[in-house]
């Protein structure tokens, strides 16, 4: 939701186009066999996590889960490693299809937004800390504060000047910025999108449809903001 809020309508199309493209370009990790295995192992690993603040019996359960958790983690890591090359290729292909859907400009803009997510995270943590110091609020005040959060985030993202985006690109290239370990470096994804002639958008956002989407997400938008202010970003 924080990423969605700071994107333009075109960049949102690029984001959705990228995710949906994984099901259209033969991505191994989203296939029936490998994809199911990865998701199943991930769920098992999550289920086997130690119970927080355990009682005596739960401490025994945590100890019993250590070996199964390590086995599941090992198999999951091996599966991800074996499919890493195919997975990286699938990300580049998904970026290309995202550009075809939303335009090269929107897909490149999405890459630039990804480079400032760390700064956006700092802002969210700061607001969560401020809310915690402010103490208890009424439901109406909490809702208003939650709605203000997205405005602050969007305003900050819009205020980032071009020279800062350029600095983030150079810094990202030096440190190999990645969305996560399954994605190629962001600067390489951006460079790949800029190879060849730019493409126009096949899906042009319409104001009426954008408003309908905002209305549909309104309740979730407020709830996510309230949880962020209450609990922060977590791990």
Tell me the DSSP string of 124-142: HHHHHHHHHHH----HHHH
Which tens digit of pLDDT belongs to each residue from 71-98?
999 999 898 888 878 888 888 999 999 9
- Looking up tokens 């289920």 gives 47
- Tell me the pLDDT tens digit for each residue of 203-232: 999 999 999 999 999 999 988 988 888 776
Of the candidates 231, 221, 6, 218, the residue with the CA atom closest to the CA atom of residue 127: 231
Closest of 183, 152, 167 to residue 115, by C-alpha: 167
Residues written for the chain: 235
d(CA 201, CA 221): 27
Q: Average the pLDDT over 1-30 and give the result.
A: 88
Chain centroid, CA 152 distance in Å: 19
CB neighbour list of residue 194: distance below 8 Å, 6 or more residues apart: 104, 108
- Residue 132 is predicted with a pLDDT of 77
Q: What was the pLDDT predicted at 187?
A: 87
Spell out a b/e string for 52-86, using b for 16 or more CB atoms within 10 Å of the CB, else e.
eeeeeeeeeebeebeeebeebeeebeeebeebeee
Q: Which of 23-27, 29-33, 126-130, 138-142 has the lowest mean pLDDT?
A: 138-142
- H or E segment and range at residue 209: helix 207-231
Predicted TM-score (pTM) above 0.85 = no
Residue 234 pLDDT level (bands cut at 50, 70, 90):
low
Question: What is the DSSP secondary structure assignment for residue 28, as one 8-state letter?
Answer: G
**CA–CA dist 234, 208 (Å, integer):** 35
The radius of gyration of the chain from alpha carbons, rounded to an integer in Å, stands at: 21
- pLDDT on residue 160: 87
Residue 235 has pLDDT above 50, yes or no: no
């Amino acid at each position: 939701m924080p990423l969605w809020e700071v994107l333009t309508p075109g960049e949102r199309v690029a984001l959705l186009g990228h995710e949906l493209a994984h099901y259209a370009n033969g991505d191994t990790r989203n296939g029936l066999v490998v994809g199911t295995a990865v998701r199943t192992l991930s769920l098992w690993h999550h289920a086997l996590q130690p119970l927080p603040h355990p009682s005596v019996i739960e401490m025994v359960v945590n100890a019993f889960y250590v070996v199964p958790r390590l086995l599941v983690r090992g198999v999951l890591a091996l599966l991800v490693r074996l499919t890493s090359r195919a997975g990286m290729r699938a990300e580049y292909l998904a970026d290309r299809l995202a550009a075809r859907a939303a335009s090269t400009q929107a897909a490149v803009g999405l890459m630039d937004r990804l480079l400032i997510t760390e700064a956006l995270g700092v802002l969210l943590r700061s607001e969560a800390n401020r809310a915690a110091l402010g103490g208890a609020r009424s439901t109406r005040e909490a809702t208003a504060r939650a709605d203000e959060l997205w405005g602050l985030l969007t305003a900050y993202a819009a205020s980032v000047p071009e020279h800062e985006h350029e600095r983030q690109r150079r810094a990202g290239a030096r440190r190999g910025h990645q969305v996560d370990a399954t994605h190629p470096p962001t600067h390489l994804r951006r460079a790949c999108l800029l190879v060849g002639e730019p493409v126009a958008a096949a899906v042009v956002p319409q104001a009426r449809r954008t408003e309908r989407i905002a209305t549909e997400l309104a309740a979730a938008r407020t709830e996510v903001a309230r949880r962020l202010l209450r609990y922060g970003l977590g791990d």
